[in-house]
Amino acid sequence: MRKLKNKNTGKDLEKRITQIAKIYEANNKALIYKCDPPSRTFNVKGKTFTTLLRNPFPDFVGTWTEKGGKALLIEAKSTQHPRLPIMCKSGGVTIDQVNHLTNWHHAGAAVGIVWEHELEWKFVSIDLVHSTLKLKRGNQPRKSIRWDEASEIAQNGMNYMDFLKNISDFYEDERTESLCT
């Protein structure tokens, strides 16, 4: 009998964010869409192959209707352990993802990471990512965020989380200077 691997693909979290995005759209708060990575399909000797290409966009992109159409970019991460790896090659927030979120933030977009662990949700700001990287573990920069360091996302019932409130709280005082400047 073959044993099936319990692999966390994050698809459930992405579906949940998509459902919540519909609620935001219906309430005229934000327009958010899932941004699938670009792909290329080609044939070799009659066999079809598809490869994913590098994606400069996070998992979700849109506009923040309440804030005059400000660009809104959200990375979704689901982990089996209460740590979120950052600046890794895969399995967490990758080097490219951190760089892209930082660049979008500097360009004036509202960015953040919605993190799921054991059906609970937290918000990770780009400033938390950068401040964590400034911390040391021995002589090396710390490369993960602990669950207790991230901000709670308000929940209303079992399926609804209001991550837009966390983003609003983070970007509310635009006079506050960002750590990643």
> What domains appear along the chain, each with residue ranges and CATH number?
11-35+49-171 (3.40.1350.10)
| C-alpha span between 131 and 134 (Å, rounded) | 5
Contact 82, 144 (CB under 8 A): no
44-56 residue pLDDT tens = 898 999 988 888 7
Q: Is the dihedral of CA 97, 91, 84, 164 positive or negative?
A: positive
pLDDT tier for residue 140 given thresholds of 50, 70 and 90: confident
Coil, helix or strand at residue 154: coil
Structure tokens at 57: 């966009």
**pLDDT reported for residue 175:** 44
pTM for this entry:
0.86
Q: Is the pLDDT of residue 58 over 90?
A: yes
Radius of gyration in angstroms for the set of CA atoms belonging to the chain, rounded to a whole number: 17
| C-alpha span between 132 and 110 (Å, rounded) | 19
| C-alpha span between 99 and 96 (Å, rounded) | 5
